[in-house]
Structure 1
Amino acid sequence: MTEKLLRVGTTYIPVTNVELSTEWYVLHLGAELSFKDEDKAILNLANQSIFLVKSMKGQTSNFFDVYGQERFSMTFEVNGLSALESLHTEFSNKGISVGEIEDRGHSGRNFVFLDLDGNKFDVWSELSQSFKEKYLFNS
């Protein structure tokens, strides 16, 4: 195989109400709306295209691990612990359902938050080195 996958371009997230969810993602997460109709919205968020897709009630992107724990399917990154703590406070003040900041035994810290439909997302205090080199510290 000479070609390789280069990046994740789009993530699909099930939502019950495209209009309300679009407003929530734009207002609370700073997403930029690219397109919207009654069945989907296309957002730009965290250097990725996010599709909010109208789905049946109770459908989420979450899954259960072998121990029965409900898990998130996506982790966002911020630049350092102070940025993580600041975002955690901001989300809490906005009324977003957030978990505690956790030490999971690896570098950095994390917390989980939920959208309107109960889709779980993780936030990690460590940016990947390649992202730092390409976007933050490239002279």
Structure 2
Amino acid sequence: MTGLFQRIDTVFVPTRNIEQALEWYMNILGGTPGWKSEKGEYQCVKFQDTSITLFLTSEAKYFEPRRSAFNFYVSNAEEAYEYLLSHGVKVEEVKEYGAKYFAFYDLDGNCLEVCEY
């Protein structure tokens, strides 16, 4: 069955407030709104050829500390770091291990990462 699974469609990111999260992902990271569910509990945010899906939840298990399930590719990690820092985003230090990378956190405390290689 080679070729059956073609690409990652989306990554689900929990949020306590869809509207605030959408604004944050648009204003801070430059995403654009995609589809939204009829009841408003899901909101797609597009980043060129990929997307994330914000999903509304108040269940504590979704907000337990964990590392990122995905990262954003950037051409300049230091520039991305300074940009996020200047917008009041909580960031960890830039590390280098064959690539430059660092973790940062959205409004709901979700751990996200940036990678330059």
Structure 2 length-normalised TM: 0.86
Map Cα deviations across residues 112-134 of structure 1 (whole Å, 9 max, x no partner).
010011110111111xxxxxxxx
- For the structure 1 residues 22 and 99, does the alpha-carbon distance in structure 2 shift closer, same or farther, using more than 3 Å as the test? same
Local SS of the residue matching 1:88 = helix
Paired with 1:77 and 1:23, the residues of 2 have a C-alpha distance of 21
Between the two structures, name the one with larger relative contact order (CA 8 Å, sep ≥ 6): 2
Matched residue pairs, number?
Answer: 114
Q: 1:61-80 residue pairs with structure 2 within 5 A?
A: 70-79=66-75
Gaps of 5+ in 1: 64-69, 127-139
| 1:57 Cα deviation from its structure 2 partner | 4.8
Which of structures 1 and 2 has the bigger CA Rg? Answer: 1
**Counterpart residue number, 2:52:** 50
Paired with 2:49 and 2:3, the residues of 1 have a C-alpha distance of 22
**Counterpart residue number, 1:93:** 86
| 1:46 Cα deviation from its structure 2 partner | 4.9
**Counterpart residue number, 1:10:** 10
Bigger fraction of residues in strand:
2
Structure 1 length-normalised TM: 0.74
Q: Identical aligned pairs, as a percentage?
A: 27
**RMSD (CA atoms):** 1.8
Paired with 1:45 and 1:4, the residues of 2 have a C-alpha distance of 24
**Counterpart residue number, 1:125:** 116
Gaps of 5+ in 2: none
Kindly indicate whether residue 36 of structure 2 is the aligned counterpart of residue 36 of structure 1.
yes
Map Cα deviations across residues 12-50 of structure 1 (whole Å, 9 max, x no partner).
111110011001101000000123353121110252121
